[in-house]
Structure formats: structure tokens, C-alpha cells
């Protein structure tokens, strides 16, 4: 039997019909290949639970030394100054005369300058001057103490010292001892009479 090398017309028509219905096959994947995308779970791990909310990041202190601020020396004087105490003291003399005196309109009838004296020297001198002025019937006298000088070493101790020992002590002397009955008013003087470096001392009337 001889082998045919060509198809008959009927066979050729049948083959073309079959070829039109054929589809090309995709290559079959290897059974060992893993085509999954994304993370692959561990088969031996327990099933995942609910997702926990992450808290704020922890602050881990460093061992680096921080700069230490240098404390500044501050002098604090909580006590009320003599000027403040005199300014808020109630007025005891005639108010019209007080207003004129504080404006520098009243001229002192006598004055004493305690500059250069120690406290021990100044107190008896001041006492004698005030008693003598009162005995003479004077009403307004001027006591000059000076504002006092400030020294750098004054603030080095645990208790800062006030500048002007005489300025600080004279009002206390005028309100105590033999001078208390004769002194009616103490005020810092007007700038025309020395300002904060002097005191007006208004005396009571002589009986």
C-alpha cells in the first residue's frame, strides 16, 4: 500500500473547520513553583489576632551630659525701704502745710549736716539739735544724712547691707527716746533741699 502525501478535497475542508475552533494552550506551571504574591504565612504559626494600636515612641534618655546653667548672683532685699515707709505713713501735720512742704515751698528754719559722722557720733548730735530747735519754738528743720554709698562687698554676705546707715537710722532715732514727744512729722525732702539725702522734720508746737 502506497503512502499518500496530500489530502483529498473533503479531508482538507474538514481539517480547516477543526483548525478554526482550536485554541493555543498556555504552558503548564511547574507544580513546585510558588506563584503567590505578598507575605507567605508560616504554616506552623498560630492564627493572627486583632491588630494592636502602636503607642507613642518611647523616649530613651541619653547619657550625654547637659550644660549646667550658671546661677547669677542676685541681691534680694525684702525689707521695706525707709523711703517707702515714710511715703505711706499717715499725715499728722496740717495738710496744707504738708503739701507746701513736700513741694519745697516751706523753707527749713534750721539744718544740721551729719555727713562724715559715725552712728555713735551722730545720734547724740541729732538729739541735741532737735531738742534745741524745739526749745526755740522752731517748726521745720532739715536733717542731712546723704544717700549713702554702695560698695561691691556689701552684697557678698548672706545678709545684704543697706546703703547709707545714717539715712536708715535717723528716722528711727527721731521716733524714739527723748525725740518722740517733740517730732510730729518726718518726710524725705524736696529735691531743692537735698531730695532723698535729707529729711524734713516738722516739730510739735512748744507748750
Average pLDDT of the segment spanning 7-29: 71
What is the distance in angstroms between the CA of the first residue and the CA of the last residue of the chain?
Answer: 176
* 194 compared with 54, residue with greater pLDDT: 194
> Any idea what the Cα angle at residue 103 is, between residues 136 and 170, rounded to 5°?
55
- How many other CB atoms are found less than 10 A from the CB of residue 127? 15
| pLDDT for position 152 | 47
pLDDT of residue 102: 95
**Do the beta carbons of residue 161 and residue 75 sit within 8 Å?**
no
The C-alpha cell of 107 is what?
523753707
pLDDT at 145 over 60: yes
Q: Which residues are registered as beta bridge partners of 206?
A: none
For 195, phi then psi, to 5°, come to 60, -135
**Percentage of the chain modeled with pLDDT above 90:** 47
Confidence (pTM): 0.57
Q: What is the mean pLDDT of residues 34-63?
A: 59
pLDDT at 39: 60
Is residue 75 scored above 50 in pLDDT? no
Is-contact 137 206, C-beta < 8 A?
A: yes
Lowest mean pLDDT among 62-66, 112-116, 123-127: 62-66
Domains (range + CATH), the chain: 82-148+162-203 (3.30.1370.110)
What pLDDT sits at residue 64? 59
pLDDT bin (cut points 50, 70, 90) of residue 85 is confident
Amino acid at each position: 500500500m502506497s503512502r499518500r502525501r496530500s489530502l483529498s478535497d473533503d479531508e482538507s475542508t474538514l481539517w480547516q473547520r477543526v483548525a478554526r475552533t482550536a485554541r493555543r494552550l498556555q504552558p503548564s506551571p511547574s507544580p513546585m513553583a510558588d506563584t503567590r504574591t505578598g507575605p507567605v504565612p508560616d504554616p506552623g504559626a498560630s492564627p493572627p489576632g486583632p491588630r494592636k494600636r502602636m503607642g507613642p515612641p518611647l523616649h530613651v534618655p541619653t547619657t550625654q551630659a547637659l550644660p549646667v546653667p550658671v546661677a547669677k548672683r542676685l541681691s534680694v532685699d525684702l525689707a521695706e525701704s525707709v523711703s517707702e515707709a515714710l511715703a505711706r505713713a499717715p499725715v499728722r501735720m496740717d495738710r496744707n502745710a504738708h503739701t507746701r512742704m513736700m513741694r519745697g515751698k516751706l523753707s527749713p528754719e534750721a539744718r544740721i549736716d551729719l555727713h562724715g559722722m559715725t552712728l555713735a557720733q551722730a545720734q547724740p548730735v541729732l538729739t541735741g539739735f532737735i531738742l534745741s530747735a524745739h526749745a526755740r519754738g522752731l517748726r521745720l528743720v532739715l536733717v542731712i544724712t546723704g544717700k549713702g554709698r554702695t560698695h561691691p562687698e556689701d552684697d557678698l554676705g548672706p545678709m545684704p547691707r543697706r546703703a547709707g546707715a545714717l539715712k536708715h537710722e535717723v528716722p528711727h532715732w527721731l521716733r524714739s527716746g527723748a525725740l518722740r514727744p517733740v517730732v510730729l512729722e518726718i518726710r524725705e525732702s524736696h529735691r531743692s533741699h537735698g531730695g532723698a539725702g535729707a529729711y524734713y522734720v516738722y516739730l510739735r508746737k512748744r507748750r
